[in-house]
Amino acid sequence: MSPCPFCRCDQVYLAEVEDGMLTVACPSCSMSGPVSVDGDPEEARRGWEILCSRMCSHCRKNIIKHFTGRIRELKAEVALLKREAPPEVGSGGAEE
Ligand SMILES: [Zn+2]
């Protein structure tokens, strides 16, 4: 199973929540994944994996890298557009 999305601990384990409901839990930070109400370990594991792929720190870093890169590009584009924009000309629509 994937390590804990918060603390990267890889000792995560299947844990019973109550009445046979299962979840995946982290022993270090006590983070836990979505609960399988049916007590299905596969479902609990799947929930954990989804959680991890959404939140694990290396994914977050990639997303942040992606967006900071994109923001830089956009800023450069805006700067370019400002430079290229023709100086404001009077609308020339004075009717008289
Ligand atoms: Zn943890």
Most confident of 2-6, 20-24, 55-59, 89-93: 20-24
pLDDT of residue 55: 63
* pTM reported for the whole predicted model: 0.55
Token pair 């009445």 is at which residue?
A: 19
3-state secondary structure of 32: strand
Could you tell me the residue ranges of all domains in the chain?
A: 13-84
Distance 62 CA to ligand 1 centre (A): 20
Distance 25 CA to ligand 1 centre (A): 8
Distance 68 CA to ligand 1 centre (A): 27
Distance 27 CA to ligand 1 centre (A): 7
- Burial class of residue 94 (count of CB atoms within 10 Å of its CB; 0-12, 13-18, 19+): exposed
The answer to whether residue 5 scores a pLDDT higher than 60 is: yes
Percent of the chain with pLDDT over 90: 38
Distance 51 CA to ligand 1 centre (A): 12
pLDDT of residue 58: 56
